[in-house]
Amino acid sequence: MNTSHKFGPLGGPYGTPFRRRFSNRLIELDFDCSTYASDINNFFDDKIENKFEDNTGGQQTYHIDYGDISQMKEWMWLANMFDGFLKDTNCMLDLNEFKHLLKFTFIRMWPRGVLPPHTASFIRAMSSINIPLRGRTRIDLYEDNPDDPQTHGQSLACHHYTSPILLNVNQFHGVRNNVDEERMILKVHLGAVSMKKLIEGFQVPQAVQRSYEVKIFDHEMPWSNTRGSKQRI
């Protein structure tokens, strides 16, 4: 279950290898995100912390949504940051297809906090990318309960990640922040990108990256950067 890969299904090498992999449940990228973490932390302190807090599930959460005019400036900053992140990690997903479907959540947990095992339910998503920002970012993975698939079964793994992870939010996972420091991540909810497509986006060989994109829809997007009103996102 715990493997690392440097070559994708189309041949390799590809841009950002995987540091750790837990089947299709979780993949940690081999990418130094310290600069991104510093910039995002500063943005959180300046623009988010005192404006968008919403406590849910024993955590402090800060949700930033596309389409909410009161959050549009903050959403634009995060979306443009995420665009740069995908480029820097050589992800070949076509962000133009799903940029408007991005939802950003800062998830902050106090020392000794616990988030019980769960799957995506309150916020429906197909996958997510989690960027570690503060503290020890550990995550627990669980199998289904064979007697009741709506509850978790036995623990499969506990992983401490220091680089961004690709997470299958529809498999059971939870957090035990059993240290004396706060924990915070930025969770980028991908409402239209399956875990399979997300993984594929990071497995395009360097040799073809300029001419290859991973599409999640089988049709072209109707908006354009070459005609019509100038696109603002």
- Give a yes or no: residue 31 inside a domain: yes
Distance CA 23, CA 42 (A): 34
Return the pLDDT at 9. 41
Work out the burial of residue 149: count CB atoms within 10 Å of its CB; fewer than 13 is exposed, 13-18 middle, 19 or more buried: exposed
C-alpha distances in angstroms, 30 versus 9, 89, 144, 176?
18, 9, 28, 24
Structural domain count of the chain: 1
- Give a yes or no: residue 195 inside a domain: yes
11: left (phi over 0), alpha (psi -120 to 50) or beta: left
CA angle 170, 105, 84 (to 5 degrees): 100
In the beta sheet, which residues pair with residue 155? 142
Query: Which pLDDT band holds residue 210 (cuts at 50, 70, 90)?
Result: low
Distance CA 162, CA 29 (A): 9
Residue 171 has pLDDT above 50, yes or no: yes
Residue 142 has pLDDT above 90, yes or no: yes
Q: What is the mean pLDDT of the chain?
A: 88
Query: Which pLDDT band holds residue 64 (cuts at 50, 70, 90)?
Result: very high
Least reliable range by pLDDT among 123-127, 141-145, 187-191, 192-196: 123-127
Distance CA 184, CA 137 (A): 8
Secondary structure percentages of the chain, helix, strand, coil, to 5: 20, 35, 40
- Give a yes or no: residue 216 inside a domain: no
- Give a yes or no: residue 214 inside a domain: no
Least reliable range by pLDDT among 28-32, 159-163, 222-226: 222-226
What is the percentage of the chain residues whose pLDDT exceeds 90? Answer: 70
Please, where are the H alpha helices in 44-146? 72-88
Return the pLDDT at 145. 92
CA atoms within 13 A on the CB side of 43: 20
The boundaries of the domain holding residue 72 are: 18-208
Q: What is the CATH number of the domain that holds 153?
A: 2.60.120.590
C-alpha distances in angstroms, 222 versus 96, 138, 219, 228?
10, 41, 9, 10
- Give a yes or no: residue 184 inside a domain: yes
Q: Are strands 59-65 and 53-56 parallel, antiparallel or unpaired?
A: antiparallel
Residue 4 has pLDDT above 60, yes or no: no
Backbone angles phi, psi at 146, to 5 degrees: -65, -20
Is residue 56 classed as helix, strand or coil in its secondary structure? Answer: strand
Return the pLDDT at 14. 60
**What value does the mean pLDDT take over residues 100-104?**
96
Instruction: For residue 13, say if its preceding peptide bond is cis, omega within 30 degrees of 0.
Output: yes
Return the pLDDT at 8. 42
Return the pLDDT at 1. 42
Query: Which pLDDT band holds residue 225 (cuts at 50, 70, 90)?
Result: confident
Query: Which pLDDT band holds residue 204 (cuts at 50, 70, 90)?
Result: confident
Residue 79 has pLDDT above 80, yes or no: yes
- Give a yes or no: residue 227 inside a domain: no
Query: Which pLDDT band holds residue 53 (cuts at 50, 70, 90)?
Result: confident
Query: Which pLDDT band holds residue 120 (cuts at 50, 70, 90)?
Result: confident
Return the pLDDT at 16. 79
- Give a yes or no: residue 218 inside a domain: no
